[in-house]
A and B are shown apart, each in its own frame.
Chain A
């Protein structure tokens, strides 16, 4: 691998964690993080990197500990606390945001992996004066109780309808040639990565059904 000062974009989270822990393996990191010739990784040192994200249409540049998840970057650094942390392990979906149009769990990705990406959080859907249609539908159908999973549910719901429109199949798609793929079972299946302990699932599906214009 060519040794240069720029960050290796193929770096994985696992490699970064190994590098910043006490490990002998040195992967390609920004030059300032490498100690010349020394085999010892200094645990005191914090590896940081600059990244610019397009968040809700605004460019945001951060200098971050490379271990900072996208979720923590949004919440702790950009103070966009609408996106929630429910598990930090990609198991609950409360941290769902839209990155370059696709829904992802923000806790399962590092901020520094998304240079230049378009990030849409719940704060970026609609405005205080004019709710996004999905937000309005959730209000109409009482698609929440405690509200903690709600931002993730709404971002995920927006992502789901887009996926269905693009013809992306799911586990319950019986025939991928039938269009549209929209059905109650499809909505339920695709939303099963967003846990709601208050049990508002039926209302959430009702809200999505309305935005989708009804289901077969």
Chain B
């Protein structure tokens, strides 16, 4: 480990607009709501993995002083399902607890207590007596009852079909060298540090929900459907999230319960979930198995690839697998087959967790590439450079921009790759640790969603921006502020940005790394229109150095405003109906004239203690191609965070399942191990920074998820370089390296 550290140079770029609030504890998250009259709720989880509730007795719970209500499926009244996000609905799953006696997964809510105090609610929740009739269940991919079914059969839409180009079987048969490997990745949970809190209050027939969500519009329309009321009578507020990572990207299954309790009791109600409950009441990364077959000719050019994926889903929903959508585009492989199968298990529906398909799929594929390169005696970087692609092998369309080569060359220079000796086990540290250097690529689609942006300038200097987006630490608020400030010549402190408020602008889900690419182009456009409007009204009096505010004041108007609607290339006008209806409407990576992806190269050094086999990652160098870097400070932090996630996914994180009980066993932050400060060494981030103006006017592709993709295989490839052992199952454990 590094023994000394020099203070690094201060961060480049503007400080975040919410920096001061964050360090002073003045940032308000949903759980910080302490409004007068607030009642507190607590959930009661199911103790069985599948079956039904045969009896539920709330008498003891009701006797606890301060309890106002104990809701169960027997007394809550009827409400609709919110539907499934991937099936025309709004929920992370189509199954909503308390609509019947059915138990679909361990930890499912069977009751909710509402009380005057948190302590009373929690105590009463332990006193609800539930009797069950249990049924057999399937909990893992290799359970005897688990049945993989072709996704192309289950989901007949083109986007879920097998991906095929050329004749991969034949290409592999004729290849000079092939590899065939199987990889396994576990279920994992997002675990942002913020725990989900939902506050519901009714006023004059209008429901206001405060909840950390990445999809305020989806929550709004989902609740409207569930409660049978007009969407105009529902407002959802989520201005700031304490981390999202996909856990919060759709209507949760508990939100309607809080709304119903608030309506029934005529008081605002706050439900604060427990950390343990989050493991069973929100989505998670599904477990997956991969088989990758790769073949190359004697010169080291990839000639064929077959990538097969089995991915976990729930009993009630089909969460699709899209891993081969990216592995097919990593290199210029002319013969490719990607086939995905889904495996139903009795669990809450898995979903989107940072790089939901890309992390696992790229892990398997990049391990295979590395192994093939080694079999041919090629340097891993040179092998990847040789197989770079200029057009999309599947569709033949050009990449809107692709700087993989620069990522690899630049990264290897910064890292010092030329000092690497190829032979596994040939590099040692002075303290006797085995040293391993590994590399891998990462890829993630460049997506965009429709948005409506409004920019308003007032004569007192205040600027107000309304657009769809949710701030979860990625710095979207800062990126918007920086952009608008620069255009208008306004001080950043004068800019108010309304995000995550369904009353301010339609709030498309912020996910898929498309937040900045979605919000910034229309904001930029609206700002330019505002300037045009100001210049027109100022007429001959306007000189080039005049700020927007000076122009407005000169015109005598109290304010000026401009609005822009933007949609992704190729999207029809009707897509705005989906936006305002709270339905997902993102496009990408395939557009009419091009395909668009972000790329990254990760170079990793591992040190392995020779006796204990403990693995450390003292340094990582990452070079990203995400187009224009709008806000350097927040972009750098995003990549560092993504690398930390990659380290966690490879060396620490696993949601443990015991087939006897179902559900997840390690439902707390001591047993679900995430990286801590002592796990993290140097992370060097740089950007190619070449604008992709073919994709949007800003030239920005996404960054938040590509940041993580490729870290896992880079680590595993480094471990091979150190030990000669190919590990195929994550997370890596010491037992894998012993013997």
Determine if A19 is an interface residue (Cβ-Cβ < 8 Å). Answer: no
Q: State the Cβ distance, B408 to closest chain A Cβ, in Å.
A: 24
The answer on a CB contact under 8 Å between B675 and A199 is: yes
A202: B residues at CB distance < 8 A = 640, 680, 682-683
Q: What is the bound-complex CA distance between A148 and B18, given in angstroms? A: 12
A199: B residues at CB distance < 8 A = 640-645, 675, 680
A185: B residues at CB distance < 8 A = 1-3, 678
The answer on a CB contact under 8 Å between B637 and A145 is: yes
B8: A residues at CB distance < 8 A = 206
The answer on a CB contact under 8 Å between A131 and B120 is: no
B444-472 at interface with A (beta carbon < 8 Å)? 472
The answer on a CB contact under 8 Å between B242 and A191 is: no
A21, A135, A139, A184: which contacts B5 (Cβ < 8 A)?
A: A184
Q: Which residue of A lies closest to B671 (CB)?
A: A91
Known: A122-B25, A185-B3. A142 touches B243 (CB 8 A): no
The answer on a CB contact under 8 Å between B637 and A142 is: yes
Determine if B34 is an interface residue (Cβ-Cβ < 8 Å). Answer: yes
The answer on a CB contact under 8 Å between A123 and B24 is: yes
Q: What is the bound-complex CA distance between A210 and B191, given in angstroms? A: 30
Q: What is the bound-complex CA distance between A84 and B25, given in angstroms? A: 9
Q: Which residue of A lies closest to B67 (CB)?
A: A44
Determine if B177 is an interface residue (Cβ-Cβ < 8 Å). Answer: no
A121: B residues at CB distance < 8 A = 25
The answer on a CB contact under 8 Å between B676 and A192 is: yes
Q: Which of B5, B21, B642 has the most chain A CB atoms inside 10 A of its CB?
A: B5
B634: A residues at CB distance < 8 A = 142, 145
A84, A195, A216: which contacts B674 (Cβ < 8 A)?
A: A195
Known: A91-B670, A206-B7. A82 touches B26 (CB 8 A): yes
Q: What is the bound-complex CA distance between A78 and B280, given in angstroms? A: 32
Scan B1-42; emit 1 where CB is below 8 A from any A CB, else 0: 111111110110001101111111111110110100000000
Determine if B484 is an interface residue (Cβ-Cβ < 8 Å). Answer: no
B221-254 at interface with A (beta carbon < 8 Å)? 240-243, 245
A137-157 at interface with B (beta carbon < 8 Å)? 138-151, 154
The answer on a CB contact under 8 Å between B641 and A198 is: yes
Determine if B473 is an interface residue (Cβ-Cβ < 8 Å). Answer: yes
Determine if A34 is an interface residue (Cβ-Cβ < 8 Å). Answer: no
The answer on a CB contact under 8 Å between B274 and A123 is: no
Q: Which of B58-66, B102-110, B557-565 contacts A (4 or more CB under 8 A)?
A: B58-66
By DSSP majority rule, is chain B's interface helix, strand, loop, or mixed?
A: loop
B638: A residues at CB distance < 8 A = 145
Known: A142-B637, A215-B5. A196 touches B193 (CB 8 A): yes
Q: State the Cβ distance, A195 to closest chain B Cβ, in Å.
A: 6
The answer on a CB contact under 8 Å between A45 and B65 is: yes
Determine if B474 is an interface residue (Cβ-Cβ < 8 Å). Answer: yes
The answer on a CB contact under 8 Å between B22 and A87 is: no
The answer on a CB contact under 8 Å between A184 and B4 is: yes
Determine if B540 is an interface residue (Cβ-Cβ < 8 Å). Answer: no
Determine if A54 is an interface residue (Cβ-Cβ < 8 Å). Answer: no
Determine if A50 is an interface residue (Cβ-Cβ < 8 Å). Answer: no
Determine if B167 is an interface residue (Cβ-Cβ < 8 Å). Answer: no
Q: State the Cβ distance, B43 to closest chain A Cβ, in Å.
A: 14
Q: Which residue of A lies closest to B645 (CB)?
A: A199
* Count of chain A residues with a beta carbon within 8 Å of a chain B beta carbon: 78
Q: State the Cβ distance, A197 to closest chain B Cβ, in Å.
A: 5
A10-64 at interface with B (beta carbon < 8 Å)? 20-21, 43-46
Known: A89-B668, A192-B676, A200-B637. A139 touches B19 (CB 8 A): yes
A195: B residues at CB distance < 8 A = 193, 669, 674, 676
B180-212 at interface with A (beta carbon < 8 Å)? 191-195
Determine if A166 is an interface residue (Cβ-Cβ < 8 Å). Answer: no
Q: What is the bound-complex CA distance between A135 and B242, given in angstroms? A: 19
Q: Which residue of B lies closest to A66 (CB)?
A: B119
B117: A residues at CB distance < 8 A = 65, 76
B34, B677, B678: which contacts A81 (Cβ < 8 A)?
A: B34
B627-668 at interface with A (beta carbon < 8 Å)? 633-634, 636-638, 640-645, 668
Interface residues on B, range: 35 or more
Q: What is the bound-complex CA distance between A120 and B127, given in angstroms? A: 36
Q: State the Cβ distance, B559 to closest chain A Cβ, in Å.
A: 29
Q: What is the bound-complex CA distance between A123 and B21, given in angstroms? A: 11
Tally the A-B contacts, defined by beta carbons under 8 Å. Answer: 227
Determine if B118 is an interface residue (Cβ-Cβ < 8 Å). Answer: yes
Determine if A205 is an interface residue (Cβ-Cβ < 8 Å). Answer: yes
The answer on a CB contact under 8 Å between B668 and A91 is: yes
Q: Which residue of A lies closest to B61 (CB)?
A: A43
Q: What is the bound-complex CA distance between A28 and B686, given in angstroms? A: 63
Determine if A118 is an interface residue (Cβ-Cβ < 8 Å). Answer: no
Known: A138-B23, A141-B11, A201-B680. A84 touches B242 (CB 8 A): yes
Q: State the Cβ distance, A82 to closest chain B Cβ, in Å.
A: 2
Determine if B350 is an interface residue (Cβ-Cβ < 8 Å). Answer: no
Q: Which of A45, A81, A154 has the most chain B CB atoms inside 10 A of its CB?
A: A81
Q: What is the bound-complex CA distance between A169 and B715, given in angstroms? A: 32
Q: What is the bound-complex CA distance between A82 and B34, given in angstroms? A: 12
Q: State the Cβ distance, A213 to closest chain B Cβ, in Å.
A: 9
Q: State the Cβ distance, A66 to closest chain B Cβ, in Å.
A: 9
The answer on a CB contact under 8 Å between B31 and A197 is: no
Q: Which residue of B lies closest to A126 (CB)?
A: B24
The answer on a CB contact under 8 Å between B242 and A147 is: yes
Q: State the Cβ distance, A13 to closest chain B Cβ, in Å.
A: 13
Q: Which residue of B lies closest to A65 (CB)?
A: B119
Q: State the Cβ distance, A85 to closest chain B Cβ, in Å.
A: 6
Q: State the Cβ distance, A67 to closest chain B Cβ, in Å.
A: 5
The answer on a CB contact under 8 Å between B674 and A82 is: no
Q: What is the bound-complex CA distance between A117 and B627, given in angstroms? A: 53
Q: What is the bound-complex CA distance between A22 and B473, given in angstroms? A: 44
A76, A82, A193: which contacts B24 (Cβ < 8 A)?
A: A82
The answer on a CB contact under 8 Å between B11 and A203 is: yes
A215: B residues at CB distance < 8 A = 4-5, 7
Q: What is the bound-complex CA distance between A192 and B134, given in angstroms? A: 41
The answer on a CB contact under 8 Å between A139 and B195 is: no
Q: What is the bound-complex CA distance between A197 and B195, given in angstroms? A: 12
Scan A119-137; emit 1 where CB is below 8 A from any B CB, else 0: 0011101101001000110
Q: What is the bound-complex CA distance between A209 and B680, given in angstroms? A: 16
Q: Which residue of A lies closest to B676 (CB)?
A: A192
Determine if B275 is an interface residue (Cβ-Cβ < 8 Å). Answer: yes
Determine if B506 is an interface residue (Cβ-Cβ < 8 Å). Answer: no
- Ordered by A's residue number, 30 sampled pairs between the chains whose C-beta atoms are within 8 Å are A81-B34, A84-B31, A84-B242, A85-B31, A86-B194, A88-B275, A91-B670, A92-B193, A92-B669, A94-B193, A125-B24, A135-B24, A142-B15, A142-B636, A145-B637, A147-B473, A148-B193, A150-B22, A172-B678, A192-B676, A192-B678, A197-B191, A198-B641, A199-B641, A201-B644, A203-B640, A205-B5, A214-B7, A215-B4, A215-B7
Given contacts A75-B34, A192-B678, 7 further A-B contacts (CB under 8 A): A46-B66, A87-B668, A89-B275, A142-B634, A145-B473, A184-B2, A216-B4
